[in-house]
Amino acid sequence: MHRSGIFTAGQLVSNPGSTEAQTIRSDRITWIDGKEPHCYHIGQLISQVDNIILKANKMVNNGKMGNYIINGRTKAMVACYPGSGSHYVKHVDNPNKDGRCITAIYYLNLDWDVKLCGGLLRVFPEGTNQVADIAPIFDRMLFFWSDRRNPHEVQPAYATRYAITLWYFDSYEREEALKKYKRVQPSSSK
């Protein structure tokens, strides 16, 4: 996929198309629904992650997940950090209440050696001085809250690093975000 030319520079939700984006994030991304030619396995992954999230959301005594009604998700974002110190500075996936409540990341990096390759995901859980360092090793799946509870960063990667990310929506917050978006968009009819 990476050599096919479908990847583009990662954008910032708060400022799409910004020239500052490259200093904040230096990954290359593409969006996949899993039905594209040659993406069968990504489609299988999406289906399995959907099943995990939806079942967990409907379980009795599911903790904070019970505060959400998961009703959809984004397409899969396939990200490539092409080495040479590519990174993504500390950020929050959903700082503006756009509806994303759960971030799910799957890593595709065979034989990844963090000491040589870098590319750690560092999570800064809210309310603690501790951090969680996650090596992006092959077949690792990670879930965390998309809001301000989990600021995170991708530390500089010195080898090509791949990840597939899905974001799951809370129905109420997503509906409110879409209403707000429609109110601020200029009307196309006169």
* Structure tokens given for 109: 């990096």
Number of domains in the chain: 1
pTM metric for this prediction: 0.88
Tell me: pLDDT of 189 over 80. Answer: no
> Domain residues for 10?
2-184
Give the chain's mean pLDDT.
89
Q: Are 116 and 85 in contact (CB under 8 A)?
A: no
pLDDT tens per residue across span 46-96: 999 999 999 999 999 999 999 999 999 999 999 999 999 999 999 999 999
166 vs 16, which has greater pLDDT? Answer: 166
**CATH number of the domain that residue 180 is part of:** 2.60.120.620
Mean pLDDT of 127-154: 97
Q: Which residues of 89-104 are buried (b: 16+ CB within 10 A; e: fewer)?
A: eeebbbeeebbbbbbb
Torsion on CA atoms 134, 135, 139, 140, rounded to nearest 10? -10
Quote the pLDDT of residue 190: 46
Q: Is residue 66 part of a domain?
A: yes
